[in-house]
Amino acid sequence: MSPASARVREFPLSASEFDEIRRLVLEHTGIALAASKRELVYSRLVRRLRRLKLDGFRAYIALLSRGETAELEQFTNAITTNLTSFFREPHHFDYLSETVLPQIERKNASTRRLRIWSAGCSTGEEAYSIAIALLEAKARFRGWDVRILATDLDSQVIATAAAGEYAIERLEKLSAARRSWFGELDGGCAVAGKELKSLVSFRRLNLLHDWPFKGSFDVIMCRNVVIYFDRSTQCALFERMAARQRASDHLFIGHSESLYKVCASYELIGKTIYRRLP
């Protein structure tokens, strides 16, 4: 018996209860949790049991199975992982600035409309990094209708992203020019400036549910989001995204992800960079 299994738990978590939680996670988030994630599940959900004054995981599973909206939101917040940083995977932003934005300037010259979706935006660093790239190219898009939609399943990280407040250390790797798009608050925090915030709309969205928006996206960043989804969920999700893009629009995915045998609607044109096929 391992040390972990030998510990006396505050709330025992049986194999059947863990399997039921895994089923609920898959149903509500699309994440296929491995059997090895039992300790992670316990550590993240035991706080909810204490908060709700429940006597065990069976009672918590019953609560979730009743479809209690508020607790399902807390459940998904607890399970999902949010790891991000400004200009993470910088080659994506280099390609966006140097190649994609000039193409969009030519392609959308008649409509003067630009739309980018940060799908799985976490605490907002990705969306604000996109906004900085657009502001750096603002001479190209003066007078254009430019918007970034940033969505995430976790309501808590969406609230953090919308506030745009970060520990000053989070900006340490940014150049002085890029840090200038942030103001400084008392207490050593940085806050996204008005120009950054004006470009981004943050919304809570479950990618597996209906998408309450219309129109197409010139660029979709869905990075390090589907890595825990099963193959069928990935296929369905990327086909839905393809339906929201036109030929030659771009999709960026995470460094550990691939569309190989997942979605035939895109062609690989760079390191985890795809282009929508006709």
Catalytic residues: 44, 152
Closest Cα partner for 103 from 250, 253, 267?
250
Pairing state of beta strands 189-192 and 165-167? antiparallel
In whole angstroms, give the CA distance from residue 117 to residue 265: 18
List b or e across 183-215, with b for residues whose CB sees 16 or more CB atoms inside 10 angstroms: eeeeeeebebbeebbebbebeebbbbeeeeeee
Residues whose CB falls within 8 Å of the CB of residue 78, separated by 6 or more in sequence, listed in order = 44, 45, 47, 48
CA distances from 8 to 3, 16, 113 (A): 10, 18, 59
Per DSSP, the residues of 45-64 read HHHHHHHHT-SSHHHHHHHH
Q: Is 69 exposed, middle or buried (0-12, 13-18, 19+ CB in 10 A)?
A: exposed
In whole angstroms, give the CA distance from residue 76 to residue 176: 37
Its sign, for the CA torsion 48, 50, 56, 62, is negative
Residue type (1 letter), 263 = C
In whole angstroms, give the CA distance from residue 25 to residue 64: 10
